[in-house]
Structure 1
C-alpha cells in the first residue's frame, strides 16, 4: 500500500520556488548568480507599516484572532474596495488568509467537485492548475497568444465553457507576462460570462497597483455589476506594499462562499499572523502616494529589460502593461547548441544552460503553460538587471547550429 496520497501525484512542485532555491544554493556555493526568478519587490516594507507592526507587538496583540481576519482589517479591506474599485462589500463578505495563494486555494477546495472544470488562460501563474487538481477539478487551459498581447479573446473563452465549467480564473495584470486587460477587453469577456450563469469568476488582482503609462486597471465585478454575486475578487498586500513575507492576502465575494472558505481555513491554518494583520491595516489605510513613485521605478526597469532583451540574438520581448515581469519568446534559440555544449531543445534547457553557464536564474516558459519563452522578474536593481541582460545577450550570441 503506498504511503503518500494519490492526490499528491497530480501536482508538481512550484517551478518559481524551485528556481529561487537553486539560485540561493549556487550563491551559497560561491557562484556569482543573478536571480530573476522571484516575484518579489526589492523595495522594503514602508516605514509606517513596520511601525504599526511594532506598535501591535508592544500592545500585546499577539494572540489568536478571528479565523479569517480581525474586524478592523476587514473594515479596511471594505474601504479599499470602495475607494479603488467602486465595489461595496460588508465585512461578512471578506476573507483574510496567509497570502493570496491560500485565498485562492481555499476557494477552490471549498467549491470543486470531481469533473468540475476551471478555465485558466495560459501563460498562467504556476500554482493555478495544480491547486485545481488538488481540489479534484480539471484545469482547462486556454492559450493567450503572443500576437494578441498574451490576452485571450471572447471567442477563446466561449469555446472553453462547457456544462462542467465551475470557475474562470482571471489575472490582470498577469503573472508571468505583465499583460493587462483594458476595460473594453474585460467587458467583452464579461459579456460572454453573462450568457453562462453557472460559471463563477475568480479575479486575481494582486498586481492592481503596478501598472504603467496610460493603462487603467479594472476588475470584472466593477466592469459588469451583474457578475457581482458570482465573483470572488482576490487581492493582497504582498506586491504593491512590498510585504511578501508578511503573508496577508484577502478576497471579497458572496457571503455563503466566504463562509465556506472560513470553515475550511478553520481546519487548516486558522487565523493569519495577528501582527501582519495590524500591519496590513496601516498599509491599506495609510499614505498611498509611494505606489506611483514605485511604479515609475518599475516602468523604467521594464523599459530597460525590454530594450536589452530585444537586442539578444533569437529573442523577442513584448512590452507589458503592468506587474514586474516580461515573458520573452526564444523561438530563435531552439534547436541550437550553447557555448557550453548544451543542446537547446526547449525553454527548460535554455533556462538550465543559462544558469549553469552565465549565472542568470530565470523561469522556463513550460512552467507557465506556454513555450518557448522564459520569465524575467525585473523587481531588482538597475545594475543587476543591466548585468543580467548582458549575460543573456552573451549566452544567446554563443548559440550555434548543431
Structure 2
C-alpha cells in the first residue's frame, strides 16, 4: 500500500471508490506550475499532453488563477434565467476571433461532448421529412454522449450502446469524391474535424474543407466543424479552419477555451443561429460567471504573449526534430498538435518509458504517439524531450519485445 499519501496509497483508494471507466491512472498528480507537474511521490514531469490539449497556458497560470478566484469571490453561479457580464463579453470575443458575420451567436456548455451534442440538435433542426442524413468521417471522435457517440466512428465506443440516434453515415476519411458523391438535398449536416486528434492527429487533405463548404452550401446542408481539440490557438491560428479561409455554419469548442476550467461552446454563424429557439436546448452550468471569467482570462493571455506564434514556430521545430529520431517513420499535425508514427507496435510502452523518464505523452494506437503540450512550452523544454526520445524508444522496444 505504501505510506499514507503516497501514490500507491492514493491509487488503492482510487480503485475502491472511482468507477473504472478510465482504467488504472498512471500517476497521482498533486500540483503543477507552467509546463511541469509533480506527483504524490515528489517526481516531476514535463507535461507534453496538456490534459489532452486543455492546459493551453500550462498549470496554475497566475493571471487565470487570480481572475477565476476574484470572480468566484464575487459571483459564482446563476441559473440560465439570468446572465452575467463575463458570459456576454466572452461570447462577443469568440465571435470576433471567429470573424463571424452579423447574426451569429454562442451557446456555452461544460465540455466538448456537450458542445457536439448541441450541434447534433442544430443539425436535426436543419432537417425535414426528406433532409434526414448527417455525415461524418471514418476515424471521427466527437464525444461519448449518445448524440455525439452517433457521430463518433470507433466501433469499440459505439457497439456497447447501440442502437444510437439514427441518420448518421460515416464516409472514408479524406476522400473528397466520396464526400461529393454523398452530399445531396437529403443531407442535413456534415461534421468534420480539421485534424482528427483521437485518430492519431490526422489532418484533412489540403482543399478538403473548401470542397465540403462548397458542397454543403450548394445543397442547403450545414457544415459543422469540431474544433474542440484544434481550436483556441492549438494549431497556430485561433481556429484550424481559418488557415484554409473557410467559414462554417457552426463550430464547437472546449478543451483549451478555459485554460483548464471546464467550458465548451457552440458557435453558430449567421442564419444557422435561428435553428435552435427558446426551450429547445439548455444547460445548468454552461457559461456561468466563473467559466466566462476563465475563458476571458485565457484568451487575454494567449493574445498578449504571442502564444499562437509560439505554437506555430515550436510545432515546426518539434516535428523536424521528431522526424530525425531513429524509429520515427512519420510526423503529422499543425502547431502544437503533433502525431508521430513509430516503426513498430510499441507506442504504449513508449508512453510508460517516457513517464519514467519524466515526460507525459500519449499513444492513440499501437504505433502512434501524440503531443499536445501547453502553448507556452519553451524551446529548451521541447529540446529536452527530443534529446531523451531516442533512449525512451529504445527502452520501449525492449519492454515490448
TM-score surpassing 0.5?
A: yes
Which residue of structure 2 aligns with residue 210 of structure 1? 234
Which residue of structure 1 aligns with residue 213 of structure 2? 190
| Alignment equivalent of 1:328, drawn from 336, 340, 350 | 340
**TM-score computed with the length of structure 1 as normaliser:** 0.65
Aligned-CA RMSD value: 4.5
Residues 331 and 338 of structure 2 are in contact (CA less than 8 Å); yes or no, is this contact kept in structure 1?
Answer: yes
Which residue of structure 2 aligns with residue 234 of structure 1? 252
Which residue of structure 2 aligns with residue 245 of structure 1? 261
Residues 110 and 263 of structure 2 are in contact (CA less than 8 Å); yes or no, is this contact kept in structure 1?
Answer: yes
The gaps in structure 1 that reach 5 residues or longer are 1-14, 145-151, 334-343, 345-349
Which residue of structure 1 aligns with residue 370 of structure 2? 375
Residue 251 of structure 2: SS of its match in structure 1? Answer: strand
For 1:3-402, what aligned pairs fall within 5 Å after superposition? 18=22, 22-24=25-27, 38-39=51-52, 40-41=54-55, 43-44=58-59, 47-59=62-74, 61-66=75-80, 70=84, 72-82=86-96, 84-90=97-103, 93-109=105-121, 111=123, 117-125=133-141, 127=143, 130=149, 132=151, 136-137=165-166, 139-144=168-173, 152-161=174-183, 165-176=187-198, 184-197=207-220, 199-206=221-228, 207-208=230-231, 209-212=233-236, 217-218=241-242, 223=246, 231-236=249-254, 238-239=255-256, 243-253=259-269, 254-259=272-277, 263-266=280-283, 269-284=284-299, 286=300, 288-290=302-304, 292-293=306-307, 295-296=309-310, 299-300=313-314, 303-304=317-318, 306-308=320-322, 310-313=324-327, 315-322=328-335, 324-330=336-342, 332-333=343-344, 344=345, 350-355=346-351, 359=355, 363-365=362-364, 373-379=368-374, 381-382=381-382, 385-386=385-386, 389-395=389-395, 398=398
Instruction: State the alpha-carbon separation in 1 of the partners of residues 250 and 189 from structure 2.
Output: 10
Instruction: State the alpha-carbon separation in 1 of the partners of residues 133 and 40 from structure 2.
Output: 43
Deviation at residue 106 of structure 1 after TM alignment: 2.5
**TM-score computed with the length of structure 2 as normaliser:** 0.65
Deviation at residue 123 of structure 1 after TM alignment: 4.1
Residues 317 and 328 of structure 1 are in contact (CA less than 8 Å); yes or no, is this contact kept in structure 2?
Answer: yes
| Larger strand proportion of the pair | 2
- Count of aligned positions: 339
Q: Deviations over 1:131-169 (max 9, x none)?
A: 53676136533444xxxxxxx243132244477644322
Instruction: State the alpha-carbon separation in 2 of the partners of residues 329 and 163 from structure 1.
Output: 39
Residues 133 and 168 of structure 2 are in contact (CA less than 8 Å); yes or no, is this contact kept in structure 1?
Answer: yes
Q: Which moved more, 1:100-109 or 1:380-389?
A: 380-389
Q: Deviations over 1:102-133 (max 9, x none)?
A: 111223256559x9654333443462762536
Deviation at residue 23 of structure 1 after TM alignment: 2.0
Residues 109 and 115 of structure 2 are in contact (CA less than 8 Å); yes or no, is this contact kept in structure 1?
Answer: yes
Deviation at residue 394 of structure 1 after TM alignment: 0.9
